[in-house]
Amino acid sequence: MRVTIFGSGYVGLVTGACLADAGNHVVCIDVDAAKIERLKAGEVPIHEPGLEALIRRNAEAGRLEFTTDVVRGVAHGLYQLIAVGTPPGEDGSADLSHVLTVARSIGTHLSRYCVVITKSTVPVGTADKVYAEMTRTLAARGAEVEFDVVSNPEFLKEGAAVNDFMRPDRVVIGSGSARATELMRALYEPFIRNHDRLIVMDIRSSELTKYAANAMLATKISFMNELANIAEKVGADIEKVRIGIGSDPRIGYSFIYPGTGYGGSCFPKDVQALIRSAHDAGHEPQILGAVEEVNARQKTVLFGKIQQHFKGQLRGLTIALWGLAFKPQTDDMREAPSRTLIDLLVKAGAQVRAYDPVAGNEARRLYQGVAGFELAKNAYEAAAGADALAIVTEWQEFRSPDFERLRESLRTAVIFDGRNLYDPNMVSRFGLTYYAIGRGRQPGIAANEGS
């Protein structure tokens, strides 16, 4: 089937490559000409496991093309997917300008039936806006072309995106048209063969489902971070508590890890956008406001511990930082907790020497010209001669380091672990002072009142 995708970012590229792999002919469009040139040259601009090989295979087979040519794209697809960014506007609401620009482009060039699919995360009512914008644009040129608009939120996780798309937990379709629903079923059939995972509902419920999912996950994280801070104050170990509650199947083990707060391109902006939508609809969302506040505070917790350990004297110190990406397996640093920590450390006069297995280029782009920031080639180079080591992302390669080497190479043998990667007793046996998140009064853990 012929598919056109607007937006060649994390969602657009993964969707395009996976749909092409199922035999569809996919044209990916982006306004970023440099990105399209790189893609045409076989370069994949983001780090996503498995994506490069998938793109190469399907591009070589002629099933996956990249272009900036909107006219060609609109002429191509029976399916027109909108996967452009919906960044937060100044008031926190989702900025729909890119989505509506695409709607106008499709309306301007459409000459036969298509189904327009909003895959971007968009507030309730957006499909109506897309429909209205297309209707207006078609009318302005006196064209009468049938089309449907459906909502099809994307649930893929960065770092596991290809696998998530190929083997989805569910595919949510919001549709008011039997014809469009049938076409959506056909599009997803190759990915849900083992049993039907298509959940069809009305458009508004589908739009809200995406926000509900992300808000729930963000809530779990903030809840655990709140509990971690309580555990620290009352002398309990949050890691024991985590296991104690996760064993209840009603709670479960996933997404209840305490840490340095959630980041990335989705949770922060989606929680904000949902708060904004609730306000606009005349509802005060109390839980969501707290989720956001707890998260903002949590992003500063590691800095608080560092500051306290060094009695507020950070000027001139070098802090090694392991992990820059907002989570492992991606190079995405949007809203990453590492950025809050770097900013606070640099502002306090410290030098940050950071290492990340894949986000180096992104960090170079973001911190170009920032005097207090430098990148190391590997984890031990970052630690060599540093006054402390802070761990922000739980990359696999950080999970079992050579503690002896660390103790010898750090100028002060102290670790601030924002991901609770280690057994505190073991770390202390290697002669390292160890601070973690929410692990109060455990042997091996340095006292850290007031964090």
Ligand X SMILES: NC(=O)c1ccc[n+]([C@@H]2O[C@H](COP(=O)([O-])OP(=O)(O)OC[C@H]3O[C@@H](n4cnc5c(N)ncnc54)[C@H](O)[C@@H]3O)[C@@H](O)[C@H]2O)c1
**Exposure string over 187-198, b if 16+ CB within 10 A, otherwise e:** bbeebeeeeeeb
Q: Please identify which residue in the block is written with the tokens 């093309």.
A: 65
Least distance to ligand X, CB of residue 149, Å: 16
Total chain residues near ligand X (CB under 6 A):
26
Stretch that binds ligand X, among 152-160, 199-207, 378-386, 432-440 (CB under 6 A): 152-160
Query: Is 126 near ligand X (CB under 6 A)?
Result: no
Rg (CA), the chain: 24
Residue sitting closest to ligand X (CB) = 9
Residue 175 or residue 330: which is nearer to ligand X going by CB? 330
Give the span between the Cα atoms of 221 and 223, in whole angstroms: 5
Instruction: Please identify which residue in 26, 51, 59, 156 interacts with ligand X, judged by CB under 6 A.
Output: 156
Least distance to ligand X, CB of residue 358, Å: 15
The separation between CA 291 and the C-alpha centre of its own chain, rounded to angstroms, equals 17
User: What contacts 415, CB < 8 A, 6 or more positions away?
Assistant: 388, 389, 390, 391, 406, 422, 427, 432, 433, 434, 435
> In 3-state terms, what secondary structure has residue 392?
coil
Least distance to ligand X, CB of residue 311, Å: 40
Least distance to ligand X, CB of residue 274, Å: 12
Residue 108 or residue 433: which is nearer to ligand X going by CB? 108
Least distance to ligand X, CB of residue 118, Å: 9
Residue 159 or residue 372: which is nearer to ligand X going by CB? 159
Residue 101 or residue 135: which is nearer to ligand X going by CB? 101
The residue annotated as part of the active site, out of 18, 28, 114, 266, is 266
**Exposure string over 118-148, b if 16+ CB within 10 A, otherwise e:** bbbbbbbebbebbbebbeebbeeeeeeeebb
Question: Strands 198-201, 318-322: parallel, antiparallel or unpaired by DSSP?
Answer: unpaired
Give the span between the Cα atoms of 231 and 233, in whole angstroms: 5
Q: Please identify which residue in the block is written with the tokens 């072309």.
A: 145
Give the span between the Cα atoms of 175 and 181, in whole angstroms: 6
Catalytic (active site) residue 266? yes
Can you read off the two tokens belonging to residue 326?
């907002």
Least distance to ligand X, CB of residue 254, Å: 17
Beta bridge partners of 111: none
Least distance to ligand X, CB of residue 316, Å: 38
State the CB neighbour count (10 A cutoff) for residue 437.
27
Burial zone of 60 (CB within 10 Å; 0-12 exposed, 13-18 middle, 19+ buried): exposed
Per-position x/- string for 265-304, each x denoting binding to ligand X as judged by CB under 6 A, each - no binding? xx--------------------------------------
Per-position x/- string for 2-41, each x denoting binding to ligand X as judged by CB under 6 A, each - no binding? ----xxxxxxx----------------xxxx--x------
Query: Is 307 near ligand X (CB under 6 A)?
Result: no
Query: Is 121 near ligand X (CB under 6 A)?
Result: yes
Distances (CA, A) of 250 to 246, 247, 254: 8, 9, 11
Can you read off the two tokens belonging to residue 271?
């929680």
Residue 31 or residue 245: which is nearer to ligand X going by CB? 31
Nearest CA to 19 among 186, 207, 194?
A: 186
Residue 228 or residue 266: which is nearer to ligand X going by CB? 266
Per-position x/- string for 189-218, each x denoting binding to ligand X as judged by CB under 6 A, each - no binding? ------------------------------
Q: Which residues in 49-108 contact ligand X (CB under 6 A)?
A: 83-86, 98, 101-102
Per-position x/- string for 175-194, each x denoting binding to ligand X as judged by CB under 6 A, each - no binding? --------------------
Least distance to ligand X, CB of residue 104, Å: 9
Q: Which residues in 233-272 contact ligand X (CB under 6 A)?
A: 265-266
Can you read off the two tokens belonging to residue 199?
């959940």
Applying CB under 6 A, which residues contact ligand X? 6-12, 29-32, 35, 83-86, 98, 101-102, 120-121, 154, 156, 158, 265-266
Residues with a known catalytic role: 266
